[in-house]
Amino acid sequence: MATKRVKFLILTTSIFLLTLQSIAQPRLPQGYFWKKLPNGLEVLVIENSKVPLATIEIAVKNGAYTEGPEFSGLSHLFEHMFFKANRDYPTQEKFLKRTQELGAIWNGTTNVERVNYFFTFDRDSLKAGLKFMNAAIRFPIYREQDMQKERPVVDGEFQRAESDPGFQLWFAVQQHLWGDLITRKNPIGIHEVINTATPEKMMVIKNKYYFPNNSLLTICGDIKHQDAFALAESIFGSWESSGFDPQVKYPVPPFKPLDKNQYFVKETTIARTPNMMFSWQGPSFLTDSASTIAADVFSTILGLNSSKLQQALVDKGLASSVSFGYSTCKYVGPVDMFVVPNPNKLKACYAELMNQVSRFASPDYFTDEQLKDAKAILLRNSIHNKEKPSSLPGQVSFDWCSTSLNYYTDLDDNYQKVTRGDIVSYIEKYLAGKPMVAGLIINPELNKQVNAGAFFAAK
């Protein structure tokens, strides 16, 4: 009896573990394969034989949202330093020579909730490419001489952005929208922090977030998933887990909700044409994933030439362009409207904008035909975006970091399921009558003529 009971317990435990594995297995499109290694590294393989190439990417749940003021911009600097020296290639010259030997095209990006690094090369170089990525992600060397070269490069990106009045307007809006937590929504950083960064600070970032259990390795191209999984485990399997969940150990402080409308007028001589920006705190994936879907559909409706927003502003000559969009985020995604008004009709443009915003939740603000058109556009865009194999890893990893693999897989279908009621619910929850930040950037000479502060203000 004891032997039978032991066998029964073993069998029951095995079934339970298999059940857990089936639950943990994400839903994936055809040709996508997923595996989690014992060290927590998630490996996604996408079989795509359109071209005889392979792309490998590592995405890390890091970025602006992990940065307090003392580290603002250092995730971006860390990304730049990734392509410098490491244990296997102890100088940047040797690193670059190896990319040439592999025939690799490479780059990295830093966003609000993701940092990613990727290489594309001939499919026959997959093993060598994975080893190359392994050395860079696990064994970086932060040499002071390399940092001296790279700090001004990163800060130079910031300075070039500041020469754009659109960026200045965006940044000022962010300061009002996020308050003391602005650094957690601004990947570009702070000049002083970037220019005084040290190798020690780079190691702080690495030791907080650069672990297999906080990363996704994606391998895409003319490959077989069994071979790719075997290579990934043999090369990255010895990468030690952190032993903790960085997202739990270093929690993101909650963003304070706006309690009232905030308006400002910013003068600058580089603003040859005035620009307006209006922003709301939108949905978070963690608390309202349904609204993140509805937000995209509504934004697409507003972008239609037939939309009331476009007809009232662009067609009537009050503005040369109006764009509206939501940025999907795990932690409070912004909803932004950017407007280039007719300088000669600034006051009228602003008044009509406020009129349109007040009507967003009206039952007749968009038609069933426009809803259908928006869904078709989103589907076509998705198909088009997935035509290039080398871009697939970045698309998947963005959702892996801010939402989930299931979200990525279901997104096209979920767009088609959005109803008028879903959109109205989203509008009423986040836009209609909700506090917003409104900013106007304008040339001082033009402002003398129109006195924007007299009408661009809370009513």
Read off the tokens for 444: 């001082």
Tens of pLDDT, residue by residue, the chain (459 residues) = 333 333 333 334 444 334 344 447 999 999 999 999 999 999 999 999 999 999 999 999 999 999 999 999 999 999 999 999 999 999 999 999 999 999 999 999 999 999 999 999 999 999 999 999 999 999 999 999 999 999 999 999 999 999 999 999 999 999 999 999 999 999 999 999 999 999 999 999 999 999 999 999 999 999 999 999 999 999 999 999 999 999 999 999 999 999 999 999 999 999 999 999 999 999 999 999 999 999 999 999 999 999 999 999 999 999 999 999 999 999 999 999 999 999 999 999 999 999 999 999 999 999 999 999 999 999 999 999 999 999 999 999 999 999 999 999 999 999 999 999 999 999 999 999 999 999 999 999 999 999 999 999 754
Q: Which helix (H) or strand (E) holds 63?
A: none
Tell which CATH classification among 3.30.1330.10, 3.40.50.10800, 3.30.1310.10, 3.30.830.10 matches the domain 262-454.
Answer: 3.30.830.10
140 pairs with which residues across the strands?
86
Secondary-structure breakdown of the chain: helix, strand, coil percentages, each rounded to the nearest 5: 55, 15, 30
For 268, list phi and psi in degrees, rounded to 5: -160, 140
Angle ∠(452,312,274) on CA atoms, nearest 5: 30
Locus of tokens 């044409």: 273
Both structure tokens of 266: 């910013």
Q: What is the DSSP string of 78-102?
A: HHHHHTS-BSSS-SHHHHHHHHHHH
Q: Which long-range contacts (CB under 8 A, 24 or more apart) does 388-391 make?
A: 389/46, 389/48, 389/50, 389/51, 389/53, 389/55, 389/220, 389/221, 390/53, 390/55, 390/105, 390/118, 390/120, 390/220, 390/221
Tell the CATH superfamily of the 28-249 domain.
Answer: Metalloenzyme, LuxS/M16 peptidase-like (3.30.830.10)
DSSP state of 117: E
The conformation of residue 140, written as its DSSP 8-state character, comes to: B
- Same CATH topology for 28-249 and 262-454? yes
Domain ranges of the chain: 28-249, 262-454
Contact 298, 427 (CB under 8 A): yes
Please check whether residue 266 is in contact with residue 172, taking contact to mean a CB–CB distance below 8 angstroms: yes
Best CA proximity match to 46, nearest among 344, 378, 397, 331: 397
CB neighbour list of residue 53: distance below 8 Å, 6 or more residues apart = 120, 121, 122, 123, 221, 222, 389, 390
